[in-house]
Structures are given as structure tokens and as C-alpha cells.
Amino acid sequence: MNGPPLPRWRALVAAFASRCTPRRQMLLAVAVLALLLVPALRQWLTASMWRHMVLQFPLWLVVGALLVAGLSPAARSRIARWNAYGISGLVGAGTVLAVLMVPRVLDLALVSAPLEAAKCTALLLAGAALRLSWKAAGLLVQGFFLGNMLPMTAVVGQLYIDSPLRLCNAYLLDDQARLGAWLVTAAALLALGWLAQVARRMS
């Protein structure tokens, strides 16, 4: 006996998920990674402070998240042993994102190839950790993680907006303020999105 039909948006999500096989996710990750390594695109993304943090950072995180789709069940099981309730992964990802919000780190990544490589590698690992940890964390640990990360992001954004001085030598003051507005807005939208998810589950 068939169950009741799914709402249209859930049906669309289910259809999309069924097509996102691990192989396709890994191929997409490789394609995005190849684009990120194109010098002209990298230069465009890092030429603006807000593009550097609001576009480049999430793209590297997405690549990391997509790449772990190809992990075998045995590898996932080994990772889960030290990542109980997703705590280790979320702490690692949060640490990476907190460090990369420091203005000096952005400056150094622009002039040092080894630091740029370290930044991108750290973002890949953070994206992988977020994907492997999010469901295991459950609402309580997710809330604790977001309750720390999102206010910090909003505070950093407000500091960028209010500071009368350039915090990054490589970027202009108006670009710094624009990044601050993006960070505050992103923190608010992520908080609302997660709360909506919680409300949907509770109902």
C-alpha cells in the first residue's frame, strides 16, 4: 500500500537527492576544484575582500563536502570512532573558520603561496568535517556549534563595518565594510534557516 503523496517541494528534493550519486558528487567536486585553481578566477575571487571570504571560502568548503561522498562505509566507520556526535569534526571546522576570519591571515594568504595552499587545504578539510559531522551532531550539538559560530561571525562583521581603519592591508575600507555587511547578513540567514529546520522537525 502506497503512503500519502509527498508535498511538491519534498518530492523535488527527493528526486534531486536520488540523482546526486556519490560518483556525480565527486565529479562535480573535481570540476569546481579545477575552476578554483584557474589563476584568473583565483585572482578575481581574492581581488575583493568580500569575494575572498563570502565566495571563495564557501566554494572550497563545498568541494571538501562533495569529495567525502566517495568515502567507503569502512572509512566512514573509522572516522566516526573519533567523531562521536560530530563533536570533533565541528570543533575542527569551527577552529579553521575562526582562524581564517583573522584579517592578517587573509593578507598573508595573498602574498605567500604556501599559506594560500594551507588555507585551501584547511577549508577542504573543514568542508569534509562539516558534512561528516552535521547529521551525527543532532540538534543539540548543532545548536551549540551555531550558537558559537554565528554570533562570532556577526561580531566580526560588525567590527569590519565599524572600524575606521583598514584591517587588511590588501583591501580598501569600503570593501572591508561591504564584507562586514555580508557576514552579518549571512549569520542572520543561517540562524533563521536552522531555526526553521528545527521548527519543521518539532512539528
Q: Give me the pLDDT at residue 10, please.
A: 60
> Distance between CA 1 and CA 87 in Å, rounded?
40
pLDDT value at residue 16: 57
The CA-to-CA distance between both ends of the chain, in Å, stands at 25
Q: How far apart are CA 152 and CA 175, in angstroms?
A: 20
Cell 594568504 -> residue: 109
Q: What is d(CA 189, CA 187) in angstroms, rounded to the nearest whole number?
A: 6
By C-alpha distance, which of 49, 161, 182, 175 is closest to 107? 49
| All three cell numbers of 60 | 572550497
pLDDT tens digits, 110-149: 999 999 999 999 999 999 999 999 999 999 999 999 999 9
Decide: 129 and 92 in contact? Cβ < 8 Å: yes
pLDDT of residue 11: 60
Spans of the chain below 50 pLDDT: 1
Predicted local confidence at residue 5, as pLDDT? 54
- The structure's pTM equals 0.88
Q: Tell me what pLDDT residue 1 has.
A: 45
